[in-house]
Amino acid sequence: TGNWSLLTILLFFAYRHTMTYIETAATGWNESPELTEVIFVNGQEFVHYKSSLKKMVPKTEWIEKTVDPEYWERERQRNIRNEQAIKAHVVWLMERLNQTSGVHILQWMYGCEWNEDTEEVTGFEILGYDGRDYVAFDLKTETYIASAPQAVITKHNWDRDKTRILYKKYFLTQECVDKLKNFVNSGRKSLMKTVPPSVSLLQKTPSSPLSCHATGFFPNVAEMFWRKDGEELHEGVHKGEILPNNDETFQMSVDLKLSSVKPEDWERHECVFQFSSVNKEIVTKLDKTKIKTNTGKTEFKGRLLIFKNIFIFLLACFVIPCTL
């Protein structure tokens, strides 16, 4: 474990970088839907926008020091333009779903990924409504995928809109990537720091799957898996989402169905955590004496999907205004 102390220093080698936009419009409290936007680089929140303020709020010191003043005004104007389109879409969806009143939330998550080693880039766009996936953009086929029956009309309309498709492709593979590269180069010292996790073996009941749980790591570009005799296991294994903690670090889990493991084979199994940018592994052996259960002092809480976490948090923010 001594070598892992090196990961708490700032690392300057290349790895995958991401920039994610999450835009949320809520209706049901005011006459006009409220719009917020949060932008993340490598999982780190660095700017926040709220339509009631009409202002971009920096969330990290490095972004305040590195971008030009014109950036804030350009981004503010972009959000003002987006407000009208997103609010109109909320109204359209309510009509489409025969909803005349009530609280409804539209989430738009999009962004890009850049591999600094290979220069490979990719992008994504997902639209969610009331906490569920609605429609997503497939960059490879340049078409939309309906995630709900009600979204089929939206899919066909957007597929036929070639101007929209061309712009999405341009934004996700060029404009977004150019911004991401600029932010990575400007904020590299902060963005490239790596913090290793604390790893535990958790089990709710003797018949429950065994969860290998890692928490407190940064950034959110990591892999976690079970392996036997050096080979990754897939059967009897369930990988969870990477979820945010409240201190800007992350957590994740990978479950193993113990009923599929013979008693004599326990010592041949191990849980592996690995940052995508680092070859060093954190290995946790399958050991009965290391398992924490609900019968002890350790409380094991169930995990929610990240999309639902964000949905519930933002729902609360609109009822009780959150501090920006």
Superfamily for the 198-301 domain: Immunoglobulins (2.60.40.10)
Predicted TM-score of the model (pTM): 0.64
Residues 223, 20: Cα–Cα separation, whole Å: 19
Question: Which run of H or E residues covers position 86?
Answer: helix 69-96
Mean per-residue pLDDT of the chain: 82
For tokens 């089990």, name the residue: 203
pLDDT of residue 303: 40
In the chain, CATH 3.30.500.10 sits at 14-190
C-alpha neighbours within 13 Å on the C-beta side of residue 206? 0
pLDDT value of position 14: 46
CATH code 2.60.40.10 region(s) in the chain: 198-301
**290-306 mean pLDDT:** 55
pLDDT score of 310: 54
Distances (CA, A) of 259 to 4, 88, 130, 237, 316: 33, 52, 37, 11, 40
pLDDT of 10: 35
209 to each of 241, 282, 287, how far by Cα in Å? 16, 21, 14
Residue 273 has pLDDT above 70, yes or no: yes
**pLDDT category, 317, cuts 50, 70, 90?**
low
CA distance 49 to 33: 14
pLDDT confidence tier of residue 53, bands split at 50, 70 and 90 = confident
Omega within 30 of 0 (cis) for the link into 219: yes
More confident residue, 18 or 60: 18
Distance between terminal CA atoms of the chain? 38
Q: Is the pLDDT score of 304 beyond 50?
A: no
Q: What is the pLDDT of residues 235-262, one digit of tens each?
A: 999 999 998 888 878 999 999 999 888 8
Tell whether the model's pLDDT for residue 306 goes beyond 70: no
Confidence bin at 295 (pLDDT 50/70/90): low
Q: Does domain 14-190 have CATH number 3.30.500.10?
A: yes
Give the CA dihedral 44, 49, 50, 56, nearest 10 degrees: 130
Q: What percent of the chain has pLDDT over 90?
A: 38
Rounded to an integer, the average pLDDT of 201-205 is: 92
Kindly report, residue by residue over 154-200, the tens digit of the pLDDT: 899 999 999 999 999 999 999 999 999 988 888 877 776 778 899 99
Model pLDDT, residue 129:
86
In this structure, of 31-45, 154-168, 202-216, 218-232, the range with the lowest mean pLDDT score is 31-45
pLDDT interval class at 145 (50, 70, 90): very high
Q: How confident is the model at residue 113 (pLDDT cuts 50, 70, 90)?
A: very high
